[in-house]
Amino acid sequence: MMCEPSREIDIDTEPDHRRSWWGVVIKFIAILALVGGLFLLFHYALQPYMSELEEFMRELGAWGPLLYIAVFLIATSIFIPESIIAIAAGAIFGLWMGLLWVVVAGTITAVFIFAIGRHFLRERVEVILGGHPKIKAIDKAASDAGFRLMVLLRLSPLNYTLLGYLLAVSRARFKPYFLACFGMIPGNFSTVYIGFAAKHAADLAKGMEDCGGKLPSNTSLTRELTIFIGLGAAILATVVVARIAMREIRKATKEASEVPS
């Protein structure tokens, strides 16, 4: 669930290992550029309205997280990238509460997609996916490898919603599908962190403007370095884990496709 553009499920394309780490570096730089873009957005476009939004969320009380969960469920069910909504959680709720509500919302949505896909849209989704042998390989591997493969799929950068519908129409059982949702947490953490860090950077810039270019009294250089070094480490770790997961998925699906039905 890293913050990357949604991609089709293409698990058989083997990476060029001479370029693989360059790919990691490029993705890392691209995501840092995204953080910079979000900072500019928060600082110049959203900062004047953030205090009103935060006050609105406080007034909602317990209804605020429930509203967020409802928005997450509706938006991701119609293929709006969940990373965008996870970034928003980091900006609205902060790092740890944002992570909590994204994990809760993501798990509820995964269960909803599974139920809808398996009981109401199964035939339609099977028709759409039926002409893709690579997807059939995932179906067979999900049945054979079960929980392990579904965790790897959640750790990978495959499209969140498409993956949910795919597993719903596969032979995957609900219990391992549900338990494998914890595999979303590393990607959730990095995307929530991006939203948190972007808003924090915008708030810091405003505070420094008010203090004549100096750090506000409620922070320190050590704290700021810790926040942004932690962001870089979280992003890098998630990208590396996603690459390892994709390699293991290729291996599992290749083995499954070679075994006679």
237/133: higher pLDDT: 237
- Averaged pLDDT for residues 75-84: 86
Residues 6+ apart with CB under 8 A from 60: 67
Q: Give the pLDDT confidence of 142-198 residue by residue, as tens digits.
A: 655 567 888 888 888 778 888 888 888 777 888 888 999 998 999 899 889 988 988
SS (H, E, C) 76-125: HHCCCCHHHHHHHHHHHHCHHHHHHHHHHHHHHHHHHHHHHHHHCCHHHH
pLDDT value at 204 more than 80: yes
Which pLDDT score is estimated for 209?
77
Q: Give the pLDDT confidence of 20-36 residue by residue, as tens digits.
A: 667 667 766 777 777 77
pLDDT value at 137 more than 50: yes
Which pLDDT score is estimated for 140?
62
pLDDT above 70: percentage of residues in the chain:
74
206/191: higher pLDDT: 191
Which pLDDT score is estimated for 8?
44
- Averaged pLDDT for residues 198-227: 81
Which pLDDT score is estimated for 241?
86
* Rounded-to-integer distance, Cα 250 and Cα 227, Å: 35
Tokens of 80: 């709006």
Alpha-helical regions (H) of 211-220? none
Closest CA to 201 of 47, 48, 23, 10: 47
Domain ranges of the chain: 17-258
